[in-house]
Structure 1
């Protein structure tokens, strides 16, 4: 029987899965990772990545039955994490993590704006890979090489220099249309061409596991090493959102949407950017600053499962705010409080508003209403994301797959289906490591299993949604064109 190994190299831990062709997980392994934070600084030790990855894969393969054949391994990593190495792959600097904000993007955007505009995202942020590379360059010794997080461990696995993938290279400025580095921009920025690795599409074979790596990781020598993706794209692959028009909505601490389009999406606001898929299609998406992270702040110590059950009883589709059965002609959601659930100051998607702050429309009477207001607001933000994507011309008529911690609440899942007025799909297992097992060569049709499809209940939540949209526009955060398009889509039954 064939087995594929998927590795999710995240911020807090590294996780490895050994998965069969029919989606059965034969083994798992996980190890924690340590960060060093100080204000805008966020670093990790690349050597720890390798040590803990090797421990996680050994654990995942520990009980692999005799006769199982490992067909491939792929690694995903955090987007925008970079470091410098020497010619042998040894780290010369700490890794600057995805949210390290010590760099400045001014020169990058001044000299490369024509490329970033053509690629659809218009501008880079200070925490992206290319600004951080410029921050590292002044102290770089001769012969230094750029490495993304996944490049560092892939080189150890293969035992020789490897190419980087287009997905991890996006925030370092790779031209995703021509699939090459825009050397004219790098020349103007003073980045030596010899510092840059080759670039390939995710899913490309980089080499095979060398003898030294096999001894440390337990992965058999000769196993193909496949170019991976960022963690967000890996989650999308694990969710099975791979057809044009399909979307993966990940709602955990914050909300992240990623979908599939044939053509590159251009966003005048720069809040949506697109990765390149292994088959050459595009993977647009965006990350909101809203999500379930608000619950622990607003309802500390409360039993969220109990609150969910109480909210379902009180705010179900057939109930009024006081919990009584609906009267004929009653508008569901009328009078319900709604919270804009920002986890931190400032919004990134579906609009850019650095000064955005949380607010609540109405006055929750108790913790159940506070809880329900947060869930409803998060569902409205999700709906607004789809409305904005539709405005940009992205196809949004395909399967919507929900993943992330919020799917543990049946009430929240039903509420999201009702707000979207669309069926939503839940997977048995949609973690990034599974996405990497698929990318390593597994068959997604067999590996990815559906747990449930939740149908909308028929509840009409348009009135409170439009109230929410109006408030975002009134505060000057939501672009009037986006607000008008949301109203137009909502008016259509």
Structure 2
């Protein structure tokens, strides 16, 4: 039995899965944070409290796991002490307060490195070496083991770690005024790094001595859970926001820094990016809505005559970087149902633009495509996205990142010799969606209208817009 824990934006999920991928136990606990303008923070203590609750639920009546792995949001950082205890709130992946530091570091404000620099500036420095940069998963790992553990190269990527050289770029970090003692030791995902201690066992119900395997970010975890680990395959994770991850044999080079490359345990690359659009825009516009009912009411309004760019918060990071970007509507919805339809469609249109951008960079984008994330609970939305993209889409039976971490735990504990084989054994397919050519044609005009507007506002670079138009014409 294998356990996976997923530290999300709105909740913590834990699953216990068997060798065949059957989910034998699951649990969840909610998370809340503080959003105020560009600020988005969560309390690290809340992460641990939620892990305790979710783990106990998952283990109720389930066999004890042999190993576990943890994933978390990419780019979320905090400062801690030498014992792994948090000293600051967790600054979440979409917190926008580190724009000046991002300009200095030459990264997106969504990355962890500028956020860490901002936290250090706010705190007045590193306080004589007693401060450490930590990632969201590091907090939970330290509590599980009772001592700080190495972080993994996936979570460390946006804090500046170089996965190609398997090292921190010490010279560059020194130029930014960041001493080496700030940064944790790093191992590759899938490496066994410790075991659950007695104190954590009492709090979580996870047996003491359970192996702890280095995890990956939530987007990579969803990639594993999708089973899309063959070169050329892609996974689109849609929840609060949208994350695309693919598999390539070599890094996808992006001079703009929009696409970044994680390194899989087998050495292949997982290029991708995280957009600011997603289901969070639906929650913001309709906080009390029943999604299933709204989906039903929205169907007669397809194709939506209103074009939406459904940003969850200010700022975009994929398929372009625009810290000043805000959501908008082109047109005025006649009713809530049409507004809902426009938001659903808008996410699919941005998803299409992401693939056009990846194609411009030379990434192979025509392999198998899988949808995962909370949005797959809506069959209507998944079908709509498949139609907009104009390509078949696979829907796994279980699409949560926590399952991906259970798969990684199995690999890291030696159950299989490759991660791909572990996923083949544990990931089950529910069905395949096939696009309808007529409906795909419906979305050509709104897609081009969105591309034109994003370019007109100065957010989408001209070459990217031109490539999107060319691909549309040649489709």
Indicate the larger mover: 124-133 or 340-349.
Answer: 124-133
Equivalences for 1:342-357 in 2 at 5 Å?
A: 342-357=311-326
Check the 8 A contact 1:473/1:479 in 2, yes or no: yes
Other-structure match for 2:469: 487
Other-structure match for 2:418: none
Indicate the larger mover: 427-436 or 254-263.
Answer: 254-263
Which residue of 330, 334, 353 corresponds with 1:384?
353
Other-structure match for 1:466: 448
Q: Distance in 2 between matches of 1:380 and 1:357?
A: 16
Which SS does the other structure have where 2:365 is aligned? Answer: coil
Indicate the larger mover: 26-35 or 438-447.
Answer: 26-35
Which residue of 18, 21, 29 corresponds with 2:19?
21
Check the 8 A contact 2:371/2:394 in 1, yes or no: yes
How far apart are 1:161 and its partner, in Å?
Answer: 3.8
Which SS does the other structure have where 2:235 is aligned? Answer: strand
Which SS does the other structure have where 1:339 is aligned? Answer: strand
Which residue of 267, 273, 281 corresponds with 1:286?
273
How far apart are 1:263 and its partner, in Å?
Answer: 1.9
Q: Distance in 2 between matches of 1:413 and 1:132?
A: 39
The answer on 1:63 being equivalent to 2:32 is: no
Q: Distance in 2 between matches of 1:122 and 1:343?
A: 16
Return the TM-score normalized by structure 2: 0.86
Other-structure match for 1:206: 193
Give structure 2 stretches of 5+ with no counterpart: 412-421
Other-structure match for 1:421: 390
Which SS does the other structure have where 1:248 is aligned? Answer: strand
How far apart are 1:307 and its partner, in Å?
Answer: 4.1
State the superposition RMSD in angstroms: 3.0
Other-structure match for 2:414: none
The answer on 1:219 being equivalent to 2:219 is: no
The answer on 1:72 being equivalent to 2:67 is: yes
1:37-64 deviation per Cα after TM superposition (whole angstroms, max 9, x unaligned)? 5655554443443344234323322312
Which residue of 404, 423, 426 corresponds with 1:447?
426
Sort the Cα spacing of 1:390 and 1:69 in 2 relative to 1 into closer, same or farther, 3 A: same
1:422-476 deviation per Cα after TM superposition (whole angstroms, max 9, x unaligned)? 0011122111211111111152113211111100112123344334323333343
How far apart are 1:391 and its partner, in Å?
Answer: 0.2
Q: Distance in 2 between matches of 1:355 and 1:408?
A: 32
1:237-262 deviation per Cα after TM superposition (whole angstroms, max 9, x unaligned)? 22223222222212333322222222
1:84-110 deviation per Cα after TM superposition (whole angstroms, max 9, x unaligned)? 44443334444444344554644x754
Check the 8 A contact 1:347/1:356 in 2, yes or no: yes
Q: Distance in 1 between matches of 2:338 and 2:473?
A: 27
Check the 8 A contact 1:99/1:127 in 2, yes or no: no
Q: Distance in 2 between matches of 1:41 and 1:490?
A: 37
Sort the Cα spacing of 1:56 and 1:423 in 2 relative to 1 into closer, same or farther, 3 A: same
Check the 8 A contact 2:6/2:71 in 1, yes or no: yes
Q: Distance in 1 between matches of 2:122 and 2:263?
A: 26
How far apart are 1:296 and its partner, in Å?
Answer: 4.4
Equivalences for 1:361-400 in 2 at 5 Å?
A: 361=330, 364-400=333-369
Check the 8 A contact 1:75/1:229 in 2, yes or no: yes
Which one has a bigger Cα radius of gyration? 1
Check the 8 A contact 2:67/2:212 in 1, yes or no: yes
Indicate the larger mover: 449-458 or 160-169.
Answer: 160-169
Sort the Cα spacing of 1:365 and 1:51 in 2 relative to 1 into closer, same or farther, 3 A: closer
Which residue of 151, 156, 174 corresponds with 2:138?
151
Sort the Cα spacing of 1:141 and 1:54 in 2 relative to 1 into closer, same or farther, 3 A: farther
Which residue of 220, 225, 234 corresponds with 1:247?
234
Other-structure match for 1:329: none
Indicate the larger mover: 20-29 or 264-273.
Answer: 264-273
Indicate the larger mover: 27-36 or 249-258.
Answer: 27-36
Give structure 1 stretches of 5+ with no counterpart: 316-332
Return the TM-score normalized by structure 1: 0.83
Other-structure match for 1:54: 52
Which residue of 391, 399, 411 corresponds with 2:380?
411
Q: Distance in 1 between matches of 2:173 and 2:400?
A: 35
Which residue of 234, 238, 243 corresponds with 1:256?
243
Sort the Cα spacing of 1:164 and 1:410 in 2 relative to 1 into closer, same or farther, 3 A: closer
Other-structure match for 2:83: 88
Other-structure match for 2:419: none
Which SS does the other structure have where 1:243 is aligned? Answer: coil
Q: Distance in 1 between matches of 2:306 and 2:374?
A: 23
Which SS does the other structure have where 1:219 is aligned? Answer: coil
1:256-302 deviation per Cα after TM superposition (whole angstroms, max 9, x unaligned)? 22222222222233322222222222222222232333334555655
Which SS does the other structure have where 1:441 is aligned? Answer: helix
Other-structure match for 2:415: none
Check the 8 A contact 1:291/1:378 in 2, yes or no: yes
Which SS does the other structure have where 1:138 is aligned? Answer: coil
